[in-house]
Amino acid sequence: MGGLIYLYGLIPTKEATNQSFPTLKGFDGEGDLYTIHIGKITAAVCDLDAENYSEESIKDRINDDMEWLQEKAFHHHETVVNLSKIFTIIPLKFCTLYKNLNSLETAVQSKESKLMSSFDLISGNEEWNLKIYCDDQLLKKQVSQSNPTIEAKREEISQMPKGKQFFEKKKLDKLIESQLEEEKNKISEQIHLHLREFALKGNVKKNWGNDVTGRKDNMTWNGVYLIPESKIEVFLEQLQHYEKSMQKAGWQFEATGPWPAYHFSSFS
């Protein structure tokens, strides 16, 4: 019977041998996590019975998968976070499985130098996420009022015959809409560039739609930052400053962290 190996993360062997490894329940809720030393790198893993990943059980899961996914996603996250509190860790993505020890060892060995420089990069730094939201209606008002061309155009339209007004208003709306998007991007990007000054690295992710966020305002920025521990407080203070000065204009800032360095330590 083949047993699978679930890989949570990679730790420098130096750290793994210096500190005791915590007792943490594995993916199936039965076995515990354990470590496998592969030269300078130590893998934090658990065993997974291949039998439980048969088509049959997966078929069953399809019916109530959300629950399963939620439970297992939390488990993965919680486990990696727990480890990241003790060790420098390169976190692995959800459900990274190896069919046997040999395949895991080969994968780690072939990337040893890349992994070692990843440890150097993330050690002493933290990953933080920032999502910026904007109330389009509020900003739209500002854009259309503060723009003299738009104001003049509006005045001009009001003097036109009704039939013509309709089409001209449509055109004007389009103009305001595109200026709004431009304005939102410009402001978000300025903030991003400013915040990056406090970070080692900063990446931009895709914005989520309102159906995901369940919010009325729109996500205009989704960024991840790798920040030196000593600069986190300043980074957050900058955010707070933005929040205070821009809130009335319809802007919201949501920071989460620290996250294990998922975005800055790729193993793939």
Partner 1 sequence: MAGIPLFQLFISEDEVMSLRESIENKDIALIDILDVILDKGVAIKADLVISIAGVDLVYLDLRLLIASVESLVQAQEGNRKTISSEQFDSQREELSHATGQPNKWKD
Shortest Å distance, C-beta 25 to partner 1: 16
Among residues 64 and 155, whose Cβ is nearest to partner 1?
64
- 244 interacts with partner 1 by CB under 8 A: no
Question: Any contact of residue 85 with partner 1 (CB under 8 A)?
Answer: yes
Cα(221)–Cα(215) distance, integer angstroms: 14
**Cα distances (Å, whole numbers) of residue 6 to 33, 101, 207:** 9, 10, 30
**By rule CB under 8 A, what string of x and - marks binding of each residue 104-123 to partner 1?**
---x----------------
HSE-CB for 188 with a 13 A CA cutoff: 24
Extract the tokens encoding 30: 């039965």
Q: Is 161 in the site for partner 1 (CB under 8 A)?
A: no
First to last CA, the chain: 28
Q: Which stretch binds partner 1 (CB under 8 A): 33-41, 75-83, 178-186, 190-198?
A: 75-83
- The 10 Å CB-count burial string (b at 16+, else e) for 148-178 is eebeebbeebeeeeeeeeeebeeebeebbee
Angle between helices 136-146 and 148-158 in degrees, nearest 10: 80
Contact region for partner 1 (CB under 8 A) — 64-72, 161-169, 180-188, 242-250?
A: 64-72
CA-derived radius of gyration, the chain: 25
**Residues 139, 183 contacting (CB under 8 angstroms):** yes
Contact 124, 228 (CB under 8 A): yes
Q: How far is the CB of 83 from partner 1 (least distance, A)?
A: 11
Position among 38, 43, 83, 92 found at the interface with partner 1 (CB under 8 A): 92
Q: Which stretch binds partner 1 (CB under 8 A): 68-76, 137-145, 173-181, 185-193?
A: 68-76
Binding region for partner 1 (CB under 8 A) out of 17-25, 80-88, 113-121, 182-190: 80-88
Minimum CB distance to partner 1, residue 50 (Å): 4
Nearer to partner 1, 108 or 143 (CB): 108
**What is the CA 205 to chain-centroid distance, rounded?**
7
Task: Give the nearer residue to partner 1 in terms of CB position, either 59 or 162.
Answer: 59
Cα–Cα distance measured from residue 34 to residue 53, given in angstroms and rounded to the nearest whole number: 21
Q: How many helices (H) and strands (E) does the chain have?
A: 10, 9
* 77 near partner 1, rule: CB under 8 A: yes
199 binds partner 1 (CB under 8 A): no
Q: Using CB under 8 A as the criterion, which residues of the chain lie in contact with partner 1 when the complex forms?
A: 1-2, 4, 7, 50, 53-55, 58-59, 61-62, 65-66, 69-70, 73-74, 76-78, 81-82, 85, 91-99, 103, 107, 129, 205-206, 208-209, 211-215, 232-233, 236-237, 240, 255-259, 262-263, 267-268
